[in-house]
Amino acid sequence: MRLKPKKLGRELPLDDYNACQHLLYSMDCWNEEITLTSLGYDGIFARYILNDVNNILLIHRNDFLVTGNIDDSHNFFYIDLEEQYDHVPDVYVTLYYSNSLNYDGITYPPDMGAEFEDSTNETENNITPFKKESITIKAERLTKTRLKIVLPLQKIYENSLVYLQVGITYSWKNKYFIDVDNGKANSNDEILLDNIQELQRMIRNTPHNNSKCIYRLDSSNDIYQPLSTMTIHEGQYIELRGGTNTNAVIDGSKCGRVFVIEPGGYLVMKNITIQNCNCKNNSLEKGKGGAILVQSQGRYGTTSLFGVLDMDSCEFTNCIATNGGAIYAYNAGVYLHKIKFVECNASYYGGGVVYNGADEF
């Protein structure tokens, strides 16, 4: 549901973008009133279908769910969602309910009239009036398309009346902006990427004309965990930024080595942590550079083209290789400033870095 990543220089500064995101996902428009039915109800954000209520609830006159003998193992029903948006927020359901109406010892659902809205109504003809109440429950998401609604037994119990008209509220878990409380390093030329799929797609499609592209990772978001090594090709000039107070985290446990910088490629990283890398099984230059391999063409002294790695305020944790536990760069350009290596090791040379440079280290 997030706005798509954009090159913000032509539109909004990042602070304004974050403010718009915050307002967008905090507005009341994410609430809606729906009617639960087994045939489905077309809401604004999804099609809602009432499901699996036969054992504990009786649908009466299309107005009510009348609870039966419910207990801790039989006090729930399901709402199935169809045609909803791809992004999956938390969902809160507001149920309207009443105590049972008793007439001469027989329980009936009431009419939807004003006389049942006020619990101060006098008792007439052995009818016990009641008050319509509400309770908001966080739905348990069993799958992307199924919600489980658990009735609170202290509020809704045997012969309670639950109205089929319910309220739905979407909550976006405060994930709608990028590092809004994380320092002042935001700039208006960044492209915002809040998941690994977007990061890999943008790297694949970065121009090969040496124009600098800046991608900002969300340091408050989940860990970025690529399934395959990301390659910086000749002519690509990429800068990755994390937060200014908290590093964004890239985890290599599923891909072995995280980055390969080919000759002519340029990768800058600021405020990034790379962790859990092991390149011993990578087919490309096996065992060289647990997290990052920087390549070159030609031999030392005659190198015609080489990759460049430029890092500032970054950390490597638990990175393993045969040579260069974190970084392997031979006849290449490497610039490191305020870099921390934690539990990185190599079987032969360079627990942190193996470097023989075509440029300054």
Q: What is the pLDDT of residue 126?
A: 45
| Residues pairing with 107 in the sheet | 102
Q: What is the pLDDT of residue 132?
A: 81
Cα 55 to Cα 22: distance, rounded to the nearest angstrom? 42
Residue 115: left (phi > 0), alpha (psi -120 to 50), or beta?
A: alpha
Report the run of H or E that residue 23 belongs to, with start and end.
helix 14-26
Pairing of strands 333-342, 308-323: parallel
Inter-CA distances, 303 with 136, 160, 236, 246, 328, Å? 67, 81, 19, 38, 16
Cα 234 to Cα 227: distance, rounded to the nearest angstrom? 22
Q: What is the pLDDT of residue 16?
A: 65
Q: Indicate the pTM of the whole model.
A: 0.52
Q: Could you tell me the two tokens for 268?
A: 């800058």
Q: What is the pLDDT of residue 106?
A: 46
Q: Could you tell me the two tokens for 304?
A: 């015609």
Residue recorded with tokens 């290789």: 321
Q: What is the pLDDT of residue 206?
A: 87
| Residues pairing with 249 in the sheet | 273
Give the ranges where the chain is alpha helix by DSSP (H). Answer: 14-26, 196-204
In 109-198, at which residue ranges do the beta strands (DSSP E only) sit? 133-138, 140-143, 146-150, 161-163, 165-171, 190-193
Q: What is the pLDDT of residue 86?
A: 55
String of b and e for 57-90 (b: at least 16 CB within 10 Å)?
Answer: bebeeeebbbbeebeeeebbbbbbbeebeeeebe
Provide DSSP, 44-67. Answer: SS-EEEEES-TTTEEEETTTEEEE
| Residues pairing with 323 in the sheet | 288, 349
170 three-class SS: strand
Contact 267, 310 (CB under 8 A): yes
- DSSP state letter for 28: G
Cα 231 to Cα 221: distance, rounded to the nearest angstrom? 23
- DSSP state letter for 224: B
Amino acid at 44: I
- DSSP state letter for 86: S
Q: Could you tell me the two tokens for 162?
A: 């639950």
Q: What is the pLDDT of residue 297?
A: 80
Inter-CA distances, 257 with 149, 151, 355, Å? 43, 49, 17
Mean pLDDT by 10 residues, the chain (361 residues): 43 61 69 88 87 65 66 81 70 84 48 38 46 88 88 80 87 54 48 83 88 82 87 94 84 93 95 92 79 79 78 94 89 90 86 62 43
167 three-class SS: strand
